[in-house]
């Protein structure tokens, strides 16, 4: 019977996104407004996915209570309300929508920047108060000023494009972005945050909130800025230290600032920030446009749908470092790595202690996801409560003390893109290898020292035997008498009369009594059965 999926939608997700879910025949959607945590916890066990915004907290308790839960969707960029570590531990994919609100945030950032440069909030207030304060409200041009962007991701990139259009000089600090991207965006890279601060007439931060970025811009950093600089934080509350910013503004050391995000939201009515001079405050409006809400809802709902229905985790932020089209292009390789992991594990007795992946090909991003896929295959029977997947494979391996490694050999192998796994367990190690031919056609090409050529499908029987006459016929007869149909039979040997290996794919699982009959033959040294589906 075809599997069906239930999705809980909360926090007023845009209808266009929800419609994408409802349109799929395998998905049942339950739309409910933001509710107390206890109510959500009481029913989360009925759902395969939950999609929301920031109002619903996805806690450890909620994740543990979701026995069926596979995916958490966040219609927005930040996942501060999601216990990411627990989700990863449990193999639950966490999907956000990093691209949908990019333009809206950048446009708001430039809006408040222009407001600061031209004193627009003060001008608006004075006009509505019946005054004409033209002489008091002189501003500055943005043209020729230096904007320092901390965090050159999607929003930082959009800020750079707009700054250049205004004739600004743009510098950027981001240790995770390569030189080519800076050049493409017309940004001068700086190696240290301190250098960016020393030169910033406009400082704008566009980074996530984590241990590395919390309190990134505090009193020492603000003291480095040129006098009358502007500071913008439309990223996450906590990146800029609010008390330090308040002091710098009151002392007149910086020209102005704008905050759209805060340490605690909503901002209390009597919060000290509300009385700070030259500080533009907005109530977390960065993504609050009709366009952005529609875009992030569509992006998140599409990704959740694909994760449930096709197993596509390319959008999961806690799965691999490869996303989107790159991940989709890797699917044949990932499938092969998974099957090689299953095969190698079946051939290693005792507890698995290490797994290494060696990839030969042109995709520099491939080794890590291939390692995860190989671990997924090798440990597919070790997780009792939830299925192991690309999200939690590394976590499960670390818990069990399995050492892992991956290497990349650039160029093309003899058979195209090639994967080799080395697995150790007990007192034995084994190497298994495969190749993707014609970009989509995966084959197993090595088992231990033997060269083979067999498709990783159905059920595979691996036999080590003595190279004596009649073995193939006796194996085929025994399987035939048991009603097992052979799809492929590949026999390999190293030398005449020595040890040989047979890789046999069959259409159905072989009964245990038949396996025992095979193992009992004097010429058969070892029998292993591996499920490749």
Spatial CB neighbours of 502, under 8 Å, sequence gap ≥ 6: 461, 462, 463, 465, 471, 472, 475, 489, 490, 491, 492
Q: Which two tokens stand for residue 115?
A: 């407001």
Choosing from 206, 236, 342, 528, the catalytic residue is 236
Of the candidates 505, 533, 489, 502, the residue with the CA atom closest to the CA atom of residue 338: 533
Helices 120-128/102-117 angle, 10° precision: 70
Of the candidates 283, 296, 334, the residue with the CA atom closest to the CA atom of residue 108: 283
SS3 458: coil
Choosing from 22, 169, 250, 284, the catalytic residue is 284
Confirm if 377 and 345 have CB atoms less than 8 A apart: yes
Distance CA 424, CA 404 (A): 11
Choosing from 16, 184, 265, 516, the catalytic residue is 265
Confirm if 321 and 391 have CB atoms less than 8 A apart: no
Give me the DSSP letters along 292-345.
Answer: HHHHHHHHHHHHHHHHHHH---TTBTTT-S--HHHHHHTHHHHHHHHHHHHHHH
- Asked if 284 is an active-site residue, the reply is yes
Q: Where are the alpha helices (DSSP H) in 190-289?
A: 193-199, 219-224, 242-250
- Asked if 236 is an active-site residue, the reply is yes
- Asked if 408 is an active-site residue, the reply is no
Spatial CB neighbours of 236, under 8 Å, sequence gap ≥ 6: 78, 80, 207, 208, 209, 213, 261
Confirm if 300 and 96 have CB atoms less than 8 A apart: yes
Q: Which residue has the tokens 């160029």?
A: 411
Q: Would you name the residues annotated as active-site residues? A: 236, 265, 284
């Amino acid at each position: 019977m075809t599997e069906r999926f239930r999705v809980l939608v909360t926090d007023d997700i845009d209808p266009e996104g929800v419609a994408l879910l409802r349109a799929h025949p395998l998905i049942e959607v339950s739309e409910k407004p933001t509710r107390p945590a206890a109510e959500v916890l009481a029913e989360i066990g009925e759902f395969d996915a939950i999609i929301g915004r920031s109002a619903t907290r996805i806690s450890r308790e909620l994740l543990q209570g979701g026995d069926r839960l596979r995916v958490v969707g966040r219609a927005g960029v930040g996942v501060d309300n999601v216990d990411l570590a627990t989700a990863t531990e449990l193999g639950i994919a966490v999907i956000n929508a990093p691209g949908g609100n990019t333009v809206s945030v950048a446009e708001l950032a430039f809006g408040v920047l222009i407001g600061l440069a031209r004193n627009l909030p003060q001008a608006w207030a004075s006009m509505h108060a019946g005054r004409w304060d033209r002489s008091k409200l002189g501003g500055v041009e943005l043209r020729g000023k230096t904007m320092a962007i901390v965090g050159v991701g999607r929003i930082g990139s959009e800020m750079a494009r707009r700054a250049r259009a205004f004739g600004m000089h743009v510098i950027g600090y981001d240790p995770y972005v390569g030189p080519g991207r800076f050049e493409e965006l017309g940004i001068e890279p700086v190696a240290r945050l301190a250098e960016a601060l020393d030169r910033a007439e406009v400082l704008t931060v566009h980074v996530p909130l984590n241990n590395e970025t919390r309190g990134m811009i505090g009193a020492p950093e603000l003291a480095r800025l040129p006098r009358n600089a502007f500071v913008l934080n439309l990223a996450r509350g906590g990146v800029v230290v609010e008390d330090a910013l308040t002091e710098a503004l009151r002392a007149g050391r910086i020209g102005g600032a704008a905050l759209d995000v805060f340490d605690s939201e909503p901002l209390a009515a009597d919060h000290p920030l509300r009385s700070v001079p030259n500080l533009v405050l907005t109530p977390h409006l960065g993504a609050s446009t009709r366009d952005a809400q529609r875009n992030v809802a569509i992006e998140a709902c599409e990704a959740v749908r694909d994760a449930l229905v096709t197993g596509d985790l390319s959008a999961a932020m806690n799965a691999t470092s490869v996303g989107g089209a790159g991940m989709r292009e890797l699917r044949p390789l990932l499938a092969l790595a998974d099957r090689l992991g299953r095969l190698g594990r079946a051939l290693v007795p005792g507890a698995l202690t290490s797994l290494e992946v060696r990839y030969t090909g042109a995709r520099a991003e491939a080794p890590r996801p291939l390692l995860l896929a190989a671990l997924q295959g090798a440990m597919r029977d070790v997780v009792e409560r939830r299925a192991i997947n690309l999200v939690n494979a590394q976590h499960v391996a670390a818990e069990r003390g399995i050492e892992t490694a991956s290497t990349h050999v650039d160029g093309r192998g003899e058979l195209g893109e090639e994967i080799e796994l080395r697995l150790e367990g007990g007192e034995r190690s084994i190497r298994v290898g495969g190749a993707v031919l014609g970009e989509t056609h995966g084959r197993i090409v090595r088992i231990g020292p033997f060269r083979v050529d067999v498709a990783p499908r159905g059920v595979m029987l691996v036999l080590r035997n003595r190279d004596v006459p009649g073995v193939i016929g006796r194996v085929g007869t025994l399987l035939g008498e048991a009603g097992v149909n052979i799809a492929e039979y590949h026999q390999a040997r190293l030398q005449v009369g020595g040890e040989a290996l047979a890789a046999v794919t069959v259409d159905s699982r072989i009964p245990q009594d038949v396996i025992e009959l095979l193992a009992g033959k004097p010429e058969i040294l070892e029998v292993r059965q591996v499920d490749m589906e």
